[in-house]
């Protein structure tokens, strides 16, 4: 089966990808400094969503052009809707046979030099010399015949700002079950109560709980001009993958690329109103979705939610380290379930330990934004779709105090001097 037939048989693009245009790019591209066509080197092609993977044969003398080939193809394919190009290279040991031997009159084995002088000793093919300290993989996992295409990942400073969203704040934990979603909705409502224009995006693709906590589970957004219209919850613009699945029982069984593609679609293809802050409820861990956000969404800062226990602190530490590496400022840490007061006798007990938030704050020189209690009312009100800030329970003041500390860290909006009103 040819690569073109293979492409047609496995092509499963998103609706933004132009299949015919992709084929034209691959068929018409000529390798640099030669007359060789790319289509004659391709052995395999696969498309999933907006990601294109190709496998092609190359030769030693073309090694210096590999990065150029990748960059030129990526630029051309981006116009066809392909947002990511993964190029797998199989390096052949000898150069391609020339159609014209040059008429020297000698018979040569493949790879030998055509010359009347004695041939110089051939050096064996050796793997390229690399800096081992820069490799993330172990040496035994490296394949010298398949050199990777090195391309710098997008940096936060290069990500363009959303035209209608001033600030994006990530609420993350690194670990599930620490009250991150409850914290997200209450902080969003607290910022809204302070007079800011606030939206909420549920990035927890596999376990969306924002619809339940904001009382609009089962509702689906309208579509206008091929874009989602966010739902309204207590005066905030809200959107979650849970609003699109239709019910509570449908699992989102997607692999990484599809999940991250869905998240980017929720962010980019939604008619967000003018917002001062968009709060994003992050999934647990430090995987595909976190990296996609860091590379493709402009983020003002991240808030880390943890409990005092050591297991939660270990995962929260990983989250902080990730944000530091991708140049996203950590605005502070919130210690959730800090203490429990018995509703019958009033006895106070630190069920999950003490001092966890203080440790993170001291270790990474970030503010401890506040402590929240382990209170049944917080859970009951969230389950009922009326979070603490709306219900006015005992935790509402704590959420308001934390929101005030976050608000003072937001950069002041720059005035657009080109506008006349």
Q: Can you say which residues are annotated as belonging to the binding site?
A: 174-181
What is the three-state SS of the chain? Answer: CCHHHHHHHHCEECCCCCHHHHHHHHHHCECCCCCCEHHHCEEEEEEEECEEEEEEEECHHHHHHHHHHHHHHHHHHHCCCCCEEEEEEEECCCCCCCCCCCCCCCCCCCCCCCCCCCCCCCCCCCCCCCCHHHCCCCHHHCCCCCCCCCCCCCCHHHCCCCCCEEEEEEEECCCCCCCHHHHHHHHHHHHHHCCCCEEEEECCCCCCCHHHHCCCCCCCCEEECCEEECEEECCEEEEECHHHHCCCCCCCCCCHHHHHHHHHHHHHCECCCCEEEEEEECCCCCCHHHHHHHHHCCCCEEEEEECCCHHHHHHHHHHHHHHHHCCCCEEEEEECCCCEECCCCCCEECCCCCCHHHHHHHHHCCCEEEECCCCHHHHHHHHCCCCHHHHCCCCHHHHHHHHHHHHCCCCCCCCCCCCCC
Provide the annotated binding site for ATP: 174-181
């Amino acid at each position: 089966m040819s690569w073109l037939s293979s492409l047609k048989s496995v092509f499963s693009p998103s609706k933004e990808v132009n299949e015919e245009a992709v084929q034209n790019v691959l068929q018409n591209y000529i390798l640099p400094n030669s007359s060789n066509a790319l289509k004659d080197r391709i052995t395999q092609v696969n498309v999933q969503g907006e990601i294109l993977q190709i496998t092609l044969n190359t030769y030693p003398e073309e090694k210096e052009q590999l990065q150029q080939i990748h960059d030129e193809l990526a630029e051309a394919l981006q116009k066809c809707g392909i947002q990511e190009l993964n190029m797998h290279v199989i390096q052949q040991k000898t150069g391609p046979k020339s159609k014209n031997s040059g008429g020297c009159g000698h018979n040569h084995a493949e790879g030998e030099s055509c010359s009347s002088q004695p041939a110089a000793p051939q050096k064996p093919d050796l793997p390229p010399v690399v800096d081992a300290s820069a490799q993330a993989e172990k040496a035994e996992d490296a394949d010298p015949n398949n050199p990777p295409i090195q391309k710098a990942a997008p940096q936060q400073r290069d990500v363009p700002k959303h035209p209608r969203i001033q600030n994006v704040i990530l609420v993350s934990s690194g670990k599930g079950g620490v009250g991150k979603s409850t914290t997200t909705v209450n902080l969003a409502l607290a910022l809204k109560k302070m007079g800011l224009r606030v939206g909420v995006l549920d990035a927890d693709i596999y376990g969306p709980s924002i619809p339940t906590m904001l009382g609009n589970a089962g509702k689906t957004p309208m579509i206008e001009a091929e874009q989602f219209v966010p739902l309204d919850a207590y005066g905030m613009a809200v959107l979650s993958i849970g609003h699109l699945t239709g019910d509570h029982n449908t699992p989102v069984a997607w692999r990484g690329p599809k999940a991250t593609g869905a998240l980017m679609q929720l962010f980019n293809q939604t008619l967000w109103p003018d917002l001062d802050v968009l709060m994003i409820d992050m999934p647990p861990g430090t995987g595909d979705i976190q990296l996609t956000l860091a590379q493709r969404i402009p983020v003002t800062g991240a808030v880390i939610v943890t409990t005092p226990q050591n297991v939660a602190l270990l995962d929260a530490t990983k989250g902080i380290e990730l944000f530091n590496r991708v140049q996203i400022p950590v605005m502070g840490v919130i210690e959730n379930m800090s203490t429990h007061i018995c509703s019958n006798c009033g006895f106070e007990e630190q069920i999950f330990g003490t001092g966890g938030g203080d440790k993170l704050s001291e270790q990474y020189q970030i503010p401890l934004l506040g402590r929240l209690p382990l209170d049944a009312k917080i859970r009951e009100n969230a389950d009922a779709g009326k979070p603490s800030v709306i219900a006015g329970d005992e935790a509402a003041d704590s959420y308001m105090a934390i929101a005030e500390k976050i608000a003072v860290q937001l950069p002041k909006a720059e005035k657009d001097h080109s506008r006349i009103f």
